[in-house]
A and B are shown apart, each in its own frame.
Chain A
Amino acid sequence: MNRKIISIFCLIVILLAVLSSTVNASASAKVFSSSKSSSYNNCGTYAVAGLSTLGYSPCTSSMGAITRDSMLEWIRNTGNGYAMYVHTFGGTGYFNDYYGYSIDNTMISGNWDFVYIDSSNSASSTELANAFHTTGYSNRCFLGWNGSITTANSERFNYYFWLTYVGKSSIRNAAVSAATCVPGSGTSPIKLYGSTTYYGTAR
């Protein structure tokens, strides 16, 4: 009898271990938001909610005086990190940390499912999208700006993109829907590289 009970107990423990490992095995994501931007707090918070909707778990965040080292540490992680959002300042082929130190395509490695660099001109060339290896696959994409973006327009875009449209359609459609919610001509030059049908869902 004792043996039987001990066997059942062991089985339950194994089951629990398997269940907990399954829960932790989903792809994770990280949000970086630089307080150089007046809307960093809202944009970061919206992104955490949106990435969680897409199933990334855990989705952690670093908001404030973000550093290049902390971003590179995440970019070069060898764990389950497959998605990343950065709200910051930047230009074509690079983005900055709070202190103005840049990350460019030569510093980026890894195979990413969904990356969104929310800084001016981040998608004006394919450099960052290619560096994150988000192009040429059916379930990967890169989102960025194909031109200048103001803090207010970025914040408005992110409100609708992350909280309303993401998860309900492909990233491309969600981005175009959010772009129409920003008033003004050419004020939301969002650009997608990679799969136009990918929903951004965590693997």
Chain B
Amino acid sequence: MKLNQKIILISFVLIILLTSVIVYAKTSETTPVKETKVVTNEMKNVSLDVLQKLNSSDSILSTDVVYDKLREKDLYRINTENYMIDLDSSNNLVGIYSMSTNPVSTTSVANKDDARKIIENKYKELNLPADYELSYLEKFDEEIWEADFEKNYNGVYNKYESVKVFFIPANNEIVALTIFNDGHDDSAVTVSKDDAILSAAKELGIDSSEIVSASLSMEKANNYYDESNTDKSVHTSWVIQSADNSIVFVDASDNTVIGGDCINE
């Protein structure tokens, strides 16, 4: 082979190599999910109905089916210019997420009563679960408010059967909304706060005087204190916090530790 031919060959190989590297770098950034499930026309109609209730005239730009690892289920996603709408396989609304918010001309001056009226009306318009009640309404930042509607079990709210929504009262605008619909534990509360504190202190190896708070709520079991635990169900629990920011969930019906957490402080 002549020198000239060698040079041309080397140049050619170099160009091919570089092109391959660039193409690989671009395509390897995203891993497309191989999915045979599709967003049906009925799902699209549900999302168009939701958009109408949001006073949006958006049309559907694209659809996806994605697996949500934390919810352990497929989500049927409808993308529009301004919203991402998620449905489950039964066409039930799972979430509404705004891609952009309209500018608020003046600093939001909505008071709590105004905010309550606006979000309760929007909640009804969207046909969200009628048996959830407004349990929390607070200002989130200068413009956005947070409202939570939760199912009430004899005074204990279940955050896993709830609707969590961030909205701008000044614009009557939903910024993001997620519907949670996990079952609950209907066991009666038979464990006293003091007994639960003793169990938590024992788990943490501390004196019960180092416990700073204890409250009743519904929590999902986890493997925070016991790696072999595979239970992820919702339990009515005493949530016990220690002075060093450790949190222990104690089942309120059998006084066992079902999981825990920690504050990043």
Chain A residues at the B interface, C-beta cutoff of 8 Å:
1-2, 5-6, 8-9, 12, 16, 19-20, 23, 37-38, 52-53, 57, 88-91, 118-121, 148-154, 156, 159-160, 164-165, 168-170, 172-173, 176-177, 179-187, 189, 191-192, 196
Contacts and interface: CB of A to CB of B under 8 A. Distances in A.
Contacts of B261: 150-153
A89 to B, nearest CB: 5
Interface residues of B, number: 49
B103 to A, nearest CB: 9
B153 interface: no
B11 A8 contact: yes
B87 to A, nearest CB: 15
B7 A90 contact: no
B247 interface: yes
B263 to A, nearest CB: 5
A160 B68 CA distance: 9
B4 A179 contact: no
Contact of A180 (B22, B141, B160, B177): B177
Contacts of B97: 165, 169, 173, 177, 180
Given A12-B14, A191-B141, A183 B263 contact: no
B100 to A, nearest CB: 6
Contact of B178 (A37, A172, A180, A185): A180
B88 to A, nearest CB: 15
B264 A170 contact: no
Interface of B: 4, 7-8, 11, 14-15, 18, 22, 25, 29-30, 66, 69-70, 84, 95, 97-101, 135-136, 138, 140-141, 144, 146, 148, 150, 159-160, 162, 164-166, 175-178, 180, 222, 224, 247, 261-265
B7 A151 contact: no
Given A120-B263, A176-B144, A176-B166, A16 B99 contact: no
B58 to A, nearest CB: 14
Nearest to A154: B264
A181 B264 contact: no
Contacts of A6: 7
Contacts of A1: 4
